[in-house]
Chains A and B, each alone.
Chain A
Amino acid sequence: MKDTINVAYVAELARIELTPEEQQLFQRQLETVVRYVEKIGRLELSGIEPTQHGQNLVNVFREDQTVAAESEARELFLANAPERNGYEFRLPKIVEEA
């Protein structure tokens, strides 16, 4: 863990546009946090199983349920769309120039 976080690059991976000021601020702040969390590198962890959850759970299954397309729920969900076209989400043109 010698190199540290490159905020400009990671922000691109995270799909967040940063202003130059934010980039500079986060670089400084997150370097401090990354240095801090590196303390877990000190522990001997061979043979230790990872914990993924708060409880030990096995797979939980249930039947899929279908909801009628004309249900009120459809209108409620679409009402939150930034832009809609009837019963469709409307999006800006996504074909980019070559």
Chain B
Amino acid sequence: MESQTLVNLIIFLLGFVFILVLVNMVLVFRLKDIDPFRKWNPTTINATLFMLFLIFGLIAAYVSTGNYEHLFSLVNDPASLHGVEIDKMFWNTMYVTILVVVLTNSLLFYYAFRYRQREGQKALYYPHNNKLELIWTIVPAVVMTILIASGVQTWHDVMQEAPEDAIEIEFYARQFDWTIRYQGEDKTFGQTHVKYIDPDMGNQLGFNFEDQAGHDDVVVTEIHVPVNTPIKMNIRSQDVLHSATLAHFRVKMDAVPGMPTSFWFVPTVTTKQMREKKNNPDFDYEMSCQQICGGGHWNMRRVLIVETQEEYEEWLNKQTPFYASYKEMNGIEDGSTNTASEEVPETTANEDELAAVVN
């Protein structure tokens, strides 16, 4: 650490001396009315620099892409069914755009170099050419149409209703963490609403315990899902906007207070398989928040584990329903008790209905 400080100090001093020398030279040259760069032709220099910039830029882009490719987890190794589609489209678009960017930038810099001002050179008076302009209107239009068509197709596939047999999981966001809820044996979520939230009793999700359907709901902080099964995420937030993001699965949907949202996907690669594929025994699928939500935005991590159906069921069976531990914790004997005071208005009872209205 100390040697580091010393090195920094030396670099700083050298920089300082360099600036001093520079200032000194400028002053001397100005005083003596000397122009040290008199013979430098700015046209040639700038034109050449453009060419160099192009060449080194392309090399640098190529090399650095190679250096960082193993980290491109958002566009390589998709872990979901629709992710494969999205990645394919991403790379197709990428190839087209790389071609266009390299070609146009090359022409731009090459022309700047080639047609730099020279003695006796006269520019060509060439105000327009309808045929050319038509070409570069139609070609991009056609390419765009193809991209739009495939984009619309994929978008619709991803956004269609989740299949009936999907496992529904609730992703509940607040500043600054995620809580995960499973439906339990009855395959139904119990009713929840912010009005029932009572942190003192541990009812963070706002369960309405009058609703029997909620009594077997399981609340966890680590997400487990079986491989090759449709998963429907029911996303909600209790305070500000958040965004449920599962980068490896190409999943992202905002959590909106007052408006439940959803997203469904089919995980296709188990955590174990991905660890082997990435040759990284510590790899985990990570869930993040990607909509600015406050000071802890950067730290809303949850781990998602994809496992076989058997492993998943085994895990699920080990979980205790939330209501059981709630009763135990608060010493409640029987019956259902809401602790948060107010009556629930009828209108908010059905959140799906509300969502339909908002949409």
Co-complex (A, B): no
Chain B contacts to A: CB under 8 angstroms:
none
